[in-house]
Amino acid sequence: MRRTNSEEPIALHAYKDYAEQYVNVNEISPFRLYYERPTLLKLLPGVSGKHVLDAGCGSGWLCEYLISQGADVSGVDVAPEMVKMARCRLGDTANIIEANLGEPLDFAKDAAFDLVVSSLTLHYLRDWRVFFAEIHRILVDDGRLVFSVLHPFNPQAFKKRKEYYATELYDHRCSSGYDSPIDLPLYRRSLTEILRPLGETGFLIEGVVEPTPTEECKKHHPDIHQRLLQCPLFLCVRAVKHCIGGK
């Protein structure tokens, strides 16, 4: 039996209030352009002709990239404001669905996707076992899951922790690039709690990467480049759906 989790998504209100600001900052943020995105994209398998789901698609930059690489793309996001922006950006080139990734993914049939990608979204979900079990169901055999997420040693998250091994909800303050700081509620979890649920739900881990800033970052933002070398902000993971019996 599939487990359900009927809690209201923690990100819903924040993204209702800050969607436009968030998108404006993120489209050009050095932390995304020169750090998280290049690392995540390097972990992707070939996507041409593949069915790909962007889980937590936001305003759709990753969907747009995947489409440009020849993928057949669906995106899902819980925030109506984000869904609206993604639909406006992508028109009929992608199927954008409004749904909660913390619930069973009833919009997708078994083995509907070759690849699920998720950029900086999973830290809004408390129970990753529910999510990974659903991703396992909707992936083909040998399908891949690639995601980026808050690093357990992200300086702000680590500073606010009460107990390293517990999964803790805290307000993450975003200030760089914003007119006034915004607080986003996030779950910080240990490295074990990031990786263990993958094995428990039938995935094999193929890669775990701590991003490092690119040379462009050094050129355009030497101060940020230096900061990113001192401490990681995010973690990127690639896993494959494990086929029982070694198929």
Q: Under the rule (CB under 6 A), what is the footprint of ligand SAM?
A: 9, 11, 15, 26, 56-58, 61-62, 77-79, 82, 100-102, 119-121, 124-125
What is the C-alpha separation between 35 and 233, in angstroms, rounded? Answer: 9
DSSP H helical ranges for the chain: 12-28, 30-31, 37-42, 61-68, 80-90, 128-138, 155-160, 191-200, 215-220, 222-230
Query: Considering beta carbons, is residue 133 or 242 the nearer one to ligand SAM?
Result: 133
Residue 16 beta carbon to ligand SAM: minimum distance, rounded to whole angstroms: 9
Task: Give CA–CA dist 189/152, Å, rounded.
Answer: 6
Handedness of CA 12, 13, 14, 15 (dihedral sign): positive
Asked whether the beta carbons of 76 and 53 are under 8 A apart, the reply is yes
Decide whether 51 or 123 has the Cβ nearer to ligand SAM.
123
**Residue closest to 205 by CA, chosen among 213, 214, 215, 195:** 195
Residue 245 Cβ, how far from ligand SAM at the closest point, in Å?
33
The distance of closest approach from Cβ of residue 168 to ligand SAM in the complex, given in angstroms and rounded to an integer, is 17
d(CA 102, CA 135): 11
List the 113-119 sheet strands across, edge first: 94-98, 72-77, 51-55, 113-119, 139-150, 234-241, 203-209
Nearer to ligand SAM, 30 or 58 (CB): 58
Minimum distance from CB of 221 to ligand SAM (Å)? Answer: 19
Alpha-carbon distance of 204 to 212, in angstroms, equals 24
Nearer to ligand SAM, 53 or 78 (CB): 78
User: At its nearest, how many Å lie between ligand SAM and the CB of residue 138?
Assistant: 14
Beta carbon nearer to ligand SAM, 56 or 143: 56
CB of 82 to ligand SAM, least distance (A): 4
Residue closest to ligand SAM when measured from CB atoms: 58
If one counts every other C-beta atom within 10 angstroms of the C-beta of residue 156, the result is 16
Q: Would you say 129 or 242 has its CB closer to ligand SAM?
A: 129
